[in-house]
Amino acid sequence: MKALVSTDFKFEGLKAKYEGKVRDVYSIGDDCLVMVVTDRISAFDVVLPEGIPYKGQVLNQIASRFLDATADIIPNWKIAQVDPMATVGYRCEPFKVEMVIRGYLTGHAWREYKSGKRTLCGVALPEGMVENQKFPEPIITPTTKAAEGHDEDISREEIISRGIVSAEDYARLEEYTRALYKRGCEMAAGKGLILVDTKYEFGKRDGKIMLMDEIHTPDSSRYFYADGYEQRLAAGERQRQLSKEFVREWLMASGFQGLEGQKVPEMTPEVVKGITDRYVELFEHITGERFVPAECDDPAARIENNIRTFLANNKIG
């Protein structure tokens, strides 16, 4: 199937449309959001030139499952998954931070550590650690949520002192972040995986904190295979992982890190298929189910019809 990289729907009651790096979000009426997860892919805060077939379906369906599986911890924005690539939910006023939690020293944290830094987002990092080693306790390393450009690391103290989030709300965000990560780790372990790190986005609706957006997908999270983790760590070998990090590594190996003047390397059909295969692999491992692609000649038309039908039948907006 050809990748779906853009949508342009005109729903009744449409008030606004927001195009993120991956998601197209439609505001319907006063209280409803429709989130379409496209096949766009981003890395280093840059949207890459080629879409990845079935990526949107993978992300939407994984997020939908984890939203359901964590609703006892915190209420979330989801009303219903109405299409393999679309979810309808409640509008929330977002907190302008992303809550990143890390159980292992890898990715961005490792790159900072390797450069000599021993503090990340105000959190002290132990000396003598090696790449992919487990932290004594998971650490929370929030980032600002940039409307455009790069998100930036920020400390708990800065968030509160700058009035981005109140001290009371931030304490709750940390509690929810740790509880969600614990649940995610338990669920991953049941499938032979390690949830290495992840990020959560929160907002408020009617004064209540709610979980928004995606959760525990390969775009927002990093997974290692549990089998062989200790042996690879001891030998200093790369971990077998399921996440978008392999895309970043491919880009870095090709001389691209999103810096000014750098050009995205060619995304050949083989590269695109390889990325699709990795997303499908993660879906099947984290859910324990076979991925069933939503084959369709016109996915945009299917999505629009499913959303219109749901909105009409449920009088939401």
> For 155-190, how does the pLDDT look when each residue is reduced to its tens digit (9 = 90+)?
999 999 999 999 999 999 999 999 999 999 999 999
pLDDT digits (tens, 9 = 90+) for 253-263: 999 998 989 99
Model confidence band, residue 149 (pLDDT cutoffs 50, 70, 90): low
Q: Which residue has the tokens 């491992």?
A: 285
Lowest mean pLDDT among 36-40, 58-62, 146-150, 152-156: 146-150
pLDDT digits (tens, 9 = 90+) for 41-90: 999 889 999 999 999 999 999 999 999 999 999 999 999 999 999 999 99
Amino acid 71: pLDDT: 98
Across 280-307, average pLDDT: 93
pLDDT digits (tens, 9 = 90+) for 78-106: 999 999 999 999 999 999 999 999 999 99
Alpha-carbon distance 121 to 142, whole Å?
7
All domains in the chain, ordered by first residue: 14-93+269-314 (3.30.200.20), 94-243 (3.30.470.20)
Amino acid 88: pLDDT: 97
Please tell me whether residue 192 adopts helix, strand or coil conformation. Answer: coil
Q: Is the pLDDT of residue 151 over 80?
A: no
Q: Is the pLDDT of residue 317 over 70?
A: no
Amino acid 14: pLDDT: 95
pLDDT digits (tens, 9 = 90+) for 199-220: 999 999 999 999 999 999 988 9
pLDDT digits (tens, 9 = 90+) for 216-251: 998 899 999 999 999 999 999 999 988 787 888 899
Across 266-278, average pLDDT: 92
Kindly provide the b/e burial profile for residues 126-145, where b requires at least 16 CB atoms within 10 angstroms of the residue's own CB: eeebebbebbeebbbbbbbb
CB-based contact 197:221 (threshold 8 Å) = yes
Across 15-40, average pLDDT: 95
Closest CA to 79 of 65, 89, 67, 71: 89
The reported pTM is 0.90
CB-based contact 127:120 (threshold 8 Å) = no
CA atoms within 13 A of residue 45's CA, in its CB half-sphere? 12
Amino acid 282: pLDDT: 85
Alpha-carbon distance 28 to 14, whole Å?
5
What is the share, in percent, of the chain residues with pLDDT greater than 70?
Answer: 98
Amino acid 245: pLDDT: 77
